[in-house]
Structure 1
Amino acid sequence: VAAIEALLDISPKPLAGRKIIVTSGPTHEPIDPVRYIANRSSGKQGHAIAAALARLGADVRLVSGPVGIADPAEVTTLHVETANEM
């Protein structure tokens, strides 16, 4: 993992000046006030992609469903619940 991260920490940043949106994680679609339909996405891949793009110099916006992982420090994250919000 350290070798991959070292490769991503390159200069000049090839994506500098680019604005990128990444979606990540599940959505919860309410059926009624108690139940909802969801998928089992963990959000790990989307969060990793967002972090990698930021390391390459991109201005990244991450739109994340309800996940149990920390937001990447170097990206702006918007938390949503439903697919319509996403």
Structure 2
Amino acid sequence: MTERKVKQRTTVTIYGQQYTVVGHEPPTHVMEVAQMVDEKMREIRKRNPYLDTTRLAVLTAVNVVDEYKKLLEEHEKALKQLKRMTGDE
């Protein structure tokens, strides 16, 4: 029989709003993610103080996905380099 992960509910606050996140990740992980999103929104708000919340959220998402994509590209380069070094190509 396969083991089933239990979904957990975690309430977080992002940019002054409460959200309940339901998922399989531990509450500590969800809270860390929410804190990072909150910090990123506040960082962008400092640079663009006149953005409404919707535009701020979209710009935050664009920035986070941009950072994620760059990390994926760096990871791929590192894997290719490792394969070359170990002769696993």
TM range, normalised to the smaller chain? under 0.3
The structure whose RCO (Cα within 8 Å, separation 6+) is larger is 1
Which structure has more strand as a fraction of its residues?
Answer: 1
TM-score, normalising length: structure 1: 0.28
TM-score, normalised with respect to structure 2: 0.27
Larger Rg: 2
